[in-house]
Every structure is written in structure tokens, then in C-alpha cells.
Amino acid sequence: MSIVIPNEILTATRMTEAEMKQEIAVMLFQKEKLTLAQASRFAGINRIAFQHLLASRQISVHYGVEDFDQDIENLRAMGRL
């Protein structure tokens, strides 16, 4: 599914498309609708950068089992486990 953000909305908010995606990702993460991994992917940035974004806004990171499993999977794919 694709979401189209009209240019008038971006202009009204004075945000780029990337900034809007980050704002949506932060909001959904805060409401516990997305995991850390899902939110960082939606935002289009890596997980560490997303964690820094959350920290800059004093939003705590809830790290669940799904996030842990994704980290293990990523480490295996990189040959580090």
C-alpha cells in the first residue's frame, strides 16, 4: 500500500516527505503500533539513527521480543552469529 501526501500538506507543515515519514513513524512507535524495527524502516533510516531521533525527543525505547528476534536474524545474516 502506498500513501500519498499532497504537496499542500507538506507545504503547510514546512516538511519534506522524509521528515513527514519520520514524524509518522515516531508517532506510531510512541503509540506502540509499530516496533522499533518497523518504525525505523517506515522512517527510511537505520535503527540506530531512529533511536537517536527518539532520544532527541526524550522518547523511551521499548525493546520487545520481536525487536530482539530481528536483531538476531540481522546478526546471523551478517555472519556475526
The 10 Å CB-count burial string (b at 16+, else e) for 13-38 is: eeeeeeebbbebbbebbeeeebbbbb
Domain parsing of the chain, residue ranges = 7-77
Total residues found in the chain within this entry: 81
What confidence score (pLDDT) does residue 56 get?
Answer: 96
Higher-confidence position of 41 and 1: 41
CA 17, CA 1: separation in Å to the nearest integer?
A: 16
pLDDT in tens, 32-60: 899 888 999 999 999 899 999 999 999 98
Task: Compute the half-sphere exposure of residue 24: CA atoms within 13 Å on the CB side of its CA.
Answer: 16
